[in-house]
A and B are shown apart, each in its own frame.
Chain A
């Protein structure tokens, strides 16, 4: 499944979608960035509540397929612009990380 398809099927809000054809595979949940860099795998969906600029850098470096911001977390425009520039897909959900993952787990 692509990030585009995931967003549509589960009605996530699309924050950025510069590379919507990336394939989603597996998931990592976490807010400590070094843990994400040490444990997340390329192609993973990364669910987090962090909202600073470093999220974009880490998502790009780790090659996650997309970031899902849980709990209705929002991003400043500067960060959104950077994500588009770096080719980082970001979705948003009003649900908790657990509820978000429970919905999409069968796709991963």
Chain B
């Protein structure tokens, strides 16, 4: 495997209002690396959606962003309840978020579909009662 730069974050599951700090930090780090603004935008939005999902549904987790020469990999890993039906969860508008979450502007059922929209590849590995691992890739060109 080629050399890469890793950014690792523990996503706090307790503070929903300030969730998303890891994504904003990733954006700053990628900017400092001089990457293409559109690539940075796609990576940081996809990661933010995943980060918010981990806070809403899984009580937090860990996030890794690996920057390779040709692509950026985002890995989001949690030990939450898992996704019983991934196909259903992927549908725009499907949401199991609470009213509180919705009152903050989230829970529109667009998170996973936005993650797919902004990345070149997305794999969801989820087991009910064990957790969810999402691996996304954004190609550099």
Interface residues of A (CB under 8 A from B): 31-35, 37-38, 42, 50, 52-55, 57-58, 60-63, 86
Contact = CB atoms under 8 A, between A and B. Distances in A.
Interface in B101-140: 104-106, 108-111, 113-114, 117
Interface in B61-82: none
B110 A32 contact: yes
B24 A38 contact: no
Contact of B24 (A42, A55, A61): A61
A57 B110 contact: no
Contacts of A54: 17, 19-20, 104-106
Contacts of B37: 42, 63
Q: Interface majority SS on A: helix, strand, loop or mixed?
A: helix
B44 A61 contact: yes
A55 B104 CA distance: 9
From B21, B27, B37, B105, residue with most partner A Cβ within 10 Å: B105
B71 to A, nearest CB: 20
Contact of B110 (A35, A55, A62, A63): A35
A42 B41 contact: yes
